[in-house]
Structures are given as structure tokens and as C-alpha cells.
Structure 1
Amino acid sequence: MTTPTMIDRAGLRGLARPVALAFGLAALITLAAKVQVPFWPVPMTLHTLAVMAIAALAGPRLAVGAMLAYLGMGAAGLPVFSGTPERGLGLAYMVGPTGGYLAGYLLAAGLIGWLAQGASMVRQGLAMLAGLAVVYALGAAWLMLFVPASKVLAVGVLPFVAGDLVKIGLALMIVALWRRFRGARRA
């Protein structure tokens, strides 16, 4: 018989793995945020790709946990967001023009994770499109605080649609490859 550790007594053994996974996935989201593809009016990142793939693979709870960890690290002042530290840090960055998109990613992670569970590739793609609509809706609504409403679609949505659709396609490929790899390992 083994002596229970402090982790066992606190009931954290079952919690340690998902928390570690959430922070690991938050690190992947951070890396995706730092990859910038030159684009106008602002550089495009791989945020969308990471959030979509993580949500479809990890499910709603872990995907939301990863986004909460990511947002928490950013709120604490760590340079996890695109353009940080140059464009600001912490809460000041989060309430700036991209704040609505960050909130949209959080809601999209849960929605995609929920809709994509056990779904076909077509339904997963539709789940990702639904998540993207949430990101655009919250992002555009928040952006209206900084840009005239008549220009929000032109600067905050339309320039990114084609690139985001490509990222959804790539996320679907990542999901398919991951599932195939995992299936081959189990056989």
C-alpha cells in the first residue's frame, strides 16, 4: 500500500492532467498568435487555426480551459497575444480593438468543441464556421468602439474571411491526420 501524497489528499491528481493540458494548449495558441503572415490592414496570425483545431480535438471543456489559460496569462501581462509586447500588454491590450475577437475565441472554442464531438468532417467544418461567425460577431461589435460602424466590416471582417476559410480547411486536415495517427497507434 502506498502512502497518499499531498496531491492525492487534495484531490488534485485527477485535476493535474487537464490543467497541464490546458496550459500546454494555451502555449500552442500563443505560438499561433506569434506567427504573422503579412496582410492588410493588420498582419494575419494562425490564432484561428489553433483555436479551431484544438476545439475539435480536445472537446469543449479542455478547449475553453486552454482559452481561459491563454487569456489569463495575457491578462497577467505575459506577452502571449499577437503584437505583444509592442502593442501593449495585459488588460490594456485586452480592452483594445482586438478584445472582442479574443472573447469570441473563448466562446467559439466551447461551441466548436461541443458541436464537433463525434461529428463527421462535414459537421466539424460546419462547427468551425459557426465558431468563426461567433468570433466575427463579437470582434466586430467590440471594434465599433474604435472604428466607425460603417467601416467595421471593411477592416475587421472582410479582409480576413478568405484566410480564415483556408485556416478552417487546414484545421480540418490537422484533425483528420491526428485522428488517423491516433487510430494507427491503437491498432
Structure 2
Amino acid sequence: MALALNDKVLTEAFGPSQGTALRVKQAAMVVLGIAALAIMAKIKVPMWPVPITMGTFAVLTIGATYGPRLGLTTILGYMIIGALGFDVFAGSSAEAAGITYMMGGTGGYLVGYVLAVLALGFAARAGWDRSIVLMAAALLMANVLIYVPGVTWLAILYEGKGLAWAVEVGLTPFLIGDALKLALTALLVPAVWKLTSDARK
């Protein structure tokens, strides 16, 4: 089924919509988005069986609110800054950063972040961000797009351990936390849309 990509995304519902002012707003959104990704990546919430890292929540939220073009620009900007050696990823540090870190165990998930932002951006452009059910479906698809390259890269990087091991360490422990982040985003984005619509009445 083809998607009709005509709807506004959430970041287009406020502020200037044309001209130089629009470009300034978009540049500010990219900077704020990159900052949010870097900050949220470092936040860990205690949870069983592993802590919840909030970086994925930032990725999902940016994808669902920025649209495909602005979202892609933001996530690629984040990746470029990380590739230059800045400590912006969840597990990066002064000792492990840049391309070396990105080619390690998290490399596949970083590729998945880009795919997830694009998929959510197109879903938002199609109006899925206004419905909790459709938003949840889009977020589930985005999570699949994060984990498929993530787990696959783990299996390739540690080829002697096999795919089952990669699923066990790279997917299973994170399912509960990701379900909570998915639910939060699925509730939050349509709720903000409703508030925006109510404010205009």
C-alpha cells in the first residue's frame, strides 16, 4: 500500500513555514536534535535485566517529529560528529571513540538508527504520528530496522559465536526497555499533536 506523503510533521506545526526564517528554524532544530541525541545517549535508567539507555528514545522521537529530510540531516550530523571522535555515543569515551568505536559492536545499531529515523519520518509524513496505533506500528517497524543490522553486524564481527549468541546478547536483554520506550513515544507524539490542534481552536 502506497503512503500519501502530504501531511505536516510535528516540527512543521509551529514557527515559520517559509523563507529565511524557516531555514533558521530548521538549522536550530538540527543543532538541538544532535544535542539531544548526544545527551540522551549518556542517560541510563536502572532496569532489569539491563539499564535502559535513552539514546534510542531520542532517535525514535526525532524520527517521528522531524520528518524524513530534517531527521536524516540530524542523524547524519550526529554520526559525523561521532566519527570525528567526539564522545556522543552511549558507550563511547575518551579512550574509545570515532570510527574505531563505530566499527565495533554497536556499528550495526548506528546504521539502524539512520534507517529508523528515515522510516519514522516517512510514516510521520503520511500522518501516522497522529494515531497511537499507527504510531506504535511505525515505532515497531523502526525498532526492527535498528535490530536487524545491529544483530547481524554482531554476528559478523564475532563470527565464531553465531547468530543465536548475537540475538541473546544484542536483542533479548533490551526488549523490555525498548517496549517501554516504544509505548512512551507512541503516546507522547499523538498527544502533542492533540495539544497543538486544541491550542488552535
TM-score relative to the length of structure 1: 0.85
Residues 51-84 of structure 1: CA distance to partner in whole angstroms, max 9, x if unpaired?
1122111211111111111111111111110122
Contact 1:87 1:93 in 2 (8 A): no
CA contact (8 A) 1:53 1:172 kept: no
SS at match of 2:104: coil
SS at 1:180 equivalent = helix
Residue in structure 1 matched with residue 149 of structure 2 by the alignment: 138
1:176 aligns with 2:190: yes
Among 24, 49, 63, the residue aligned to 1:55? 63
Q: Percent identity?
A: 36
CA 1:121–1:40 in structure 2 vs 1: closer, same or farther (change >3 Å)? closer
Q: Does 1:163 align with 2:163?
A: no
The equivalent residue for 1:154 is 168
1:98 pairs with 95, 98, 106, which one?
A: 106
Shift of the alpha carbon at 1:112? Answer: 1.2
* Aligned partner letter, 1:166: L
Match of 1:21 among 29, 39, 44: 29
Question: Alignment partner of 1:145: what SS?
Answer: helix
Residues 105 and 154 in structure 2, CA contact (< 8 A), matched pair in contact too = yes
Higher mean Cα deviation, 71-80 or 12-21? 12-21
Return the alpha-carbon distance in structure 2 between the equivalents of residues 48 and 95 of structure 1: 19
Query: Is the CA contact (8 Å cut-off) linking 1:41 and 1:155 kept in structure 2?
Result: no
Q: 1:63·1:109 contact (CA, 8 Å) conserved in 2?
A: yes
> C-alpha separation between the residues in 2 aligned to 1:15 and 1:29?
21
CA distance in structure 1 between the partners assigned to 2:52 and 2:106 by the alignment: 12
Structure 1: distance between partners of 2:49 and 2:133: 31
Cα drift, residue 41 of structure 1? 7.8
1:40–1:165: structure 2 CA closer, same or farther, 3 Å change rule?
A: closer
Shift of 1:89: 1.1
Size of the aligned set, in residue pairs, is 177
Distance 1:182 1:75 in 2: 37
> Which stretch of the first structure deviates more once superposed, 70-79 or 33-42?
33-42
Q: What are structure 2's unaligned runs of at least 5 residues? A: 1-18
Q: Which runs of 5+ in 1 are unaligned?
A: 1-10
RMSD, aligned CA: 2.2
Q: Give distance in 2, aligned partners of 1:49 and 1:104.
A: 13
Q: Sort the Cα spacing of 1:86 and 1:130 in 2 relative to 1 into closer, same or farther, 3 A.
A: same
Q: Does the alignment pair 1:128 with 2:155?
A: no
Q: CA deviation at 1:184?
A: 3.5
Amino acid at match of 1:145: I
Structure 2 CA distance for aligned equivalents of residues 99 and 42 of structure 1: 20
* Cα distance in 2 for residues equivalent to 1:42 and 1:91: 26
TM (normalized to structure 2)? 0.79
1:116/1:123 contact within 8 Å kept? no
